[in-house]
Amino acid sequence: MKTFEEKWTAWLDGELSGKELVEFEASLPDKAAAEAEKRDTHKLGALLKEQLGAHALSNEDFFSHQLRERIARENGPSREPSLEASTWWTVRRLFLTGVASLALFVICAVVVIRDKNPGEQSQYLTQILNARVDPAVSPNATISMFETKEDKVTVLWVEGLQSLPADYAAK
């Protein structure tokens, strides 16, 4: 069952006929005013068709191609965006690279720490732990020790040992 508005629109467009047309026109309160409105509507329609006609496309082939491509994309099988397909640096490879770098860092750190033992004065310098002279032979002997900065020589300096004649320099 059409509403009045639907019948009105169909009447304006000239789509009513037969019994339906007669019944609708009979239901109009002022048929002359309705006819006038129908004529105005037709005039407006003609004017709009004239002024708002579709412009011809200058690159219709390209436009058609783009359109077909888009339709094909949208109708094609949907795919999840995959990192593995898009780039060599997958999450897995990034993870493995990170682990490998960390392992390398730990190895280097261990080697460096082993090389430089903080418990010792310095591995670059010789250390004199103790020194003694026989007090009976050299009662006035004194002992001191130091390192030279230039070539890291450790020196045990003993003063007061008994002097010996030059003969003792023999090979």
Partner 1 sequence: MRNCALLLAALLALVMSVASAAQATQTVWSGLVIAENVSQPAPIPPELIRIEQTLKALFGYNQFQVIGQSRKTLKTGEEDWLASSKYFALHVDARGETEAGYVLNLKLYKENDLLLETDTKLSKRSPLVIKGPQVGGGQLLLVLVVQ
- Interacting residue ranges for partner 1, rule: CB under 8 A: 93, 96, 100, 107, 114-115, 117, 120, 122-134, 137-138, 147-148, 150-159, 161-171
Q: Minimum distance between the CB of residue 90 and partner 1, rounded to whole angstroms?
A: 11
| Cβ–Cβ < 8 Å for 159, 152 | no
Q: Which whole-number Å values give the CA distances from 100 to 36, 84, 93, 136, in the listed order?
A: 88, 20, 10, 65
Which string of b and e fits 125-137 if b means at least 16 CB within 10 Å?
eeeeeeeebeeee
- Least distance between partner 1 and beta carbon 118 (Å): 11
Query: How far apart (Å, rounded) are the C-alpha atoms in residues 166 and 10?
Result: 141
Nearer of residues 26 and 170 to partner 1, judged by Cβ: 170
Q: How far is the CB of 85 from partner 1 (least distance, A)?
A: 18
User: Checking phi first, is residue 123 left (phi over 0); if not, alpha (psi -120 to 50) or beta?
Assistant: alpha
Closer Cβ to partner 1, 22 or 145, answer by number: 145
8/23 Cα distance (integer angstroms): 12
**Which of 9/126 has CB closer to partner 1?**
126
| Closest distance of CB 96 from partner 1, Å | 6
CA distance 34 to 39: 9
User: CB 97 → partner 1: shortest distance, Å?
Assistant: 9
Helix (H, G, I), strand (E, B) or coil at 153: coil
Q: Please, which residue, 77 or 119, has the CB nearer to partner 1?
A: 119
Closer residue to partner 1 in complex, CB, 47/145: 145
